[in-house]
Structure 1
Amino acid sequence: MNFALFNTPSYLTLTEKQPKPLQMEETNVFRQSENTPDLLENFYLPFGGKLNPNNRWVQLAKFVLWDKAEEKYFETLGSPIVGQKAYPVRVALGSLLIKERLGLSYWETTLQIMENSYLQYVLGYDGYVDEEPFHPSLLTHFRARLGAEILAEINDWMVQEGLKSEQEAAVKAKEEAPEDHDDDDPEGG
């Protein structure tokens, strides 16, 4: 699996209430993400079911160090009181991840996010929402706000998390493999 986020150029329980699109708080420009370890388990799907934990987007989202990325993102915002409301880092970074991984235009990226519950999961939604997440032009602002250096650093974190996961899986597979005690004669005699 390719864990890299960016090609670095020189840069669902069914509930009665459907989830609402991500909303900005009234008091601050930026709202820190809530710790969401159960997001996958509780993600709302309007037709029932659950997200598949083995889906490539669910797996990829595991490799993003969202808390660390949020710290870097928050540093770029300036005043937490003055200015336009900022989207959460999962929306900003997640949408850039989706755009780059799929090689989409800004417009097509927002449409794909609107149509795909797995992509909405990457963005931190708590359920499927059938509406465009933001205006496509905001992707330009997300990229500019995060900047090439922060995106490269996040990319490196993702690669390291992916490699660590692969190493852990290899050790686990080796520990679970049956032992071969017959190493005396290759023909079994």
Structure 2
Amino acid sequence: MYKLHTIVQLAFEDFNQPIGLKMNPSNRWIQKAELIPWAELEKDYAKNFRNKKGNVAKPFRMAFGALLIQKEYSYSDEETVLQIQENPYLQFFIGLPGYQDAKPFDASTMVYFWKQLAVFKMTFIDGLFVQ
């Protein structure tokens, strides 16, 4: 089951920082987030969920963002979640509305992200994030 997420984080300035940290707009994760047409991809991704029952899947930005982070650093599933938990730039990248100290999802969810995105073919990704 999937609920289309229409709230899109438009600018890093909107990212809530309760600890008072000022985010750097030139950070690579902020810049990468600006390159991706999140709303457009979210709509296409939502079409893959035909079943109206069951648990609601995580938003596209969270799923895809987490997988890009994992691929960038060759992290394990658990380490990916821990890095996202500890880093406000990564939390912004996956679309959280503000910094949170809790894990955004369980490490076992990464398997579902891979499965869902395998169905959702993405041709432009391969060269997009090469450093």
TM range (shorter): 0.7 to 0.9
Identity across matched positions, percent: 35
TM score, norm. by length of structure 1? 0.62
SS at match of 1:31: coil
Match of 2:50 in 1: 78
Whether the aligned pair in 2 keeps the contact of 1:64 and 1:154 (CA below 8 Å) is no
- Indicate yes or no: 2:89 matched with 1:125: no
2-structure distance, mates of 1:75, 1:150: 12
Match of 2:87 in 1: 116
Structure 2 stretches lacking a partner, 5+ long: none
Deviations 1:36-79 (A, max 9, x none): 223x1121222214311100110111111212221231122113
Whether the aligned pair in 2 keeps the contact of 1:113 and 1:120 (CA below 8 Å) is yes
Whether the aligned pair in 2 keeps the contact of 1:69 and 1:154 (CA below 8 Å) is no
Greater shift, 42-51 or 82-91, is seen at 42-51
2-structure distance, mates of 1:146, 1:85: 15
Equivalences, count: 129
- Indicate yes or no: 2:67 matched with 1:96: yes
Whether the aligned pair in 2 keeps the contact of 1:57 and 1:122 (CA below 8 Å) is yes
Match of 1:37 in 2: 10
**4+ runs of 1 displaced by more than 4 Å?**
none
TM score, norm. by length of structure 2? 0.87
Structure 1 stretches lacking a partner, 5+ long: 1-27, 163-189
SS at match of 1:128: coil
2-structure distance, mates of 1:42, 1:149: 29
Query: Is the alpha carbon distance of 1:47 and 1:126 closer, same or farther for their aligned partners in structure 2, counting shifts above 3 Å?
Result: same
Among 64, 69, 74, the alignment partner of 2:41 is 69
* 1:126, distance to aligned residue in structure 2 (A): 1.4
Query: Is the alpha carbon distance of 1:142 and 1:100 closer, same or farther for their aligned partners in structure 2, counting shifts above 3 Å?
Result: same
SS at match of 2:5: coil
2-structure distance, mates of 1:65, 1:127: 20
* 1:29, distance to aligned residue in structure 2 (A): 3.5
Whether the aligned pair in 2 keeps the contact of 1:29 and 1:86 (CA below 8 Å) is yes
